[in-house]
Amino acid sequence: MSSSFPPVSAREAVRVFRSAGFEVLPDRGVGSHIVMHKAGWSAILTVPNHKELKRGTLRRLIRDAGMSVDEFVARLRA
């Protein structure tokens, strides 16, 4: 299991979460955060719109999305 991952921007993270079925909420995706939701999923992802996300923040987002770090990294590289 991979314990680390490369630096990831908000744009890259949003792309990966979209590939997992999440969508940006258009009325809430403006400003310093990007809000995402997945139909049938209780969690709402709030991605800080930064050039590089902090590792702890990214890990929380990955966990809230129901993904593993390995799955996230695989989708990131795809």
Per residue in 26-51, pLDDT (tens digit) is: 876 567 899 999 999 888 999 999 99
Domain that holds residue 16: 10-77
Q: What is the CATH number of the domain that holds 61?
A: 3.30.920.30
Distance CA(36)–CA(45), nearest Å, equals 5
DSSP letter (8 states) at residue 27: T
Query: Picking from 4-8, 10-14, 52-56, 61-65, which range would have the lowest pLDDT averaged per residue?
Result: 4-8
Residues near 11 by beta carbon (within 8 Å), at least 6 away in sequence: none
Answer yes or no: is 3 within a domain.
no
Answer yes or no: is 40 within a domain.
yes
Number of domains forming the structure of the chain: 1
Distance CA(58)–CA(40), nearest Å, equals 22
Give CA separation, 29 vs 1, 6, 40, in Å. 33, 25, 20
